[in-house]
Amino acid sequence: MDADKHTPASPSQIRIALIMKTLTNPFFIEMEKGARKAQQETGIDLQVMTATQETSIEQQIQLVENQIEAKVNAIVIAPGDSLRLVAVLKKAQDAGIKVVNIDNRLQPDAVKAAGMKPIPFISVDNEQAAYLSAKFVVDKITQPMEVAIFEGIRTADNANQRKRGAERAFRENPKLHIVSQETANWKIDEAYEVAKHVFADHPNIGAVFCANDMMAIGVVKYLQESGKTKVLVAGFDALEEAKLAIHQGKMTSTMDQQAAEQGYQGVQTAIRLVNADVVPEQVLVDARLITAEMLK
């Protein structure tokens, strides 16, 4: 049930569903930890669920459908696709369920066109964060060089924001020429296979920006196996494996977008919505550049 302003629901009566993309990416394991921290602090009933993979959009839509049927009070969602989740989330809102958007922004025009009420958004400034990760690489380059960008899912807003940030960083250096922009859909194995083709076509690439660390790990795996150990690789997410690669000199940089904090803030915002409190339309969590110097 939705509480009004005068009678806040008791925490144990508040049922919130956190719907993430996958647990195959450690980023979302951290996000769940933050959400569980909010649960422990407040005593609400939190259900956490994910699709099998970050590309399993239909499965994520079904998870939302299931929570509508379960009549939860709120859904906190990291959508795998910025457009395709809008219709089912409108259905959730129409059923009286509060919706909070974390990590990847739902497309604002699509939300508006669907007639949805404003949805609070919690994430980082993905464009600026990607710029900073790529810029750290750019500042190391003094000779003319070919560079590449490995994109995430192209229908995801955060993937597009990160691509734009990397493009901006690379284009600030007139010595750099972007010769390849391919998607590896956030996946290690796909990035490994894409890297094979990209480097076959452009063997002189000297630097790569990957829109998440999973793809960066796949690219690094290919580079290590093929002996291209001088290629600079920037990532995004600050996964432990990526930080180890930076420490070992196999990657140059990544961005910590505080997944746990996003999960925590998402659940806390949902609780406030259920209790009819006013919440900010947007909360941007600080993103932190991670380099070898910082890991010493």
Q: With bands split at pLDDT 50, 70 and 90, how would you rate the model's confidence at 8?
A: low
Q: Which residue has the higher pLDDT, 115 or 5?
A: 115
Is 224's pLDDT higher than 50? yes
In which residue are the tokens 């696709």 written?
81
Residue 18: the pLDDT is 98
State the burial class of residue 293 (Cβ atoms within 10 Å of its Cβ: 0-12, 13-18, 19+). Answer: exposed
In this structure, what token pair is assigned to residue 153? 């899912």
Mean pLDDT for the stretch of residues 181-185: 98
Question: 16 — alpha (psi -120 to 50), left (phi > 0) or beta?
Answer: beta
Distance CA 113, CA 275 (A): 27
pLDDT in tens, 66-80: 999 999 999 999 999
Strand order in the sheet with 205-210: 176-183, 145-151, 205-210, 232-234, 253-256, 288-291
pLDDT in tens, 191-201: 999 999 999 99
What pLDDT shows up at residue 7?
A: 61
pTM of the model: 0.89
pLDDT at 6: 45
In the block, which residue shows the tokens 């919706």? 99
Looking at the predicted structure, is the pLDDT value of residue 93 above 80?
yes
Q: What is the DSSP letter of 80?
A: S
Alpha-carbon span 54 to 256, nearest angstrom:
19
Task: Quote the mean pLDDT of the chain.
Answer: 95
* Closest C-alpha to 279, from 125, 119, 115: 119
Model pLDDT for residues 131-143, shown as the tens digit of each residue: 999 999 999 999 9
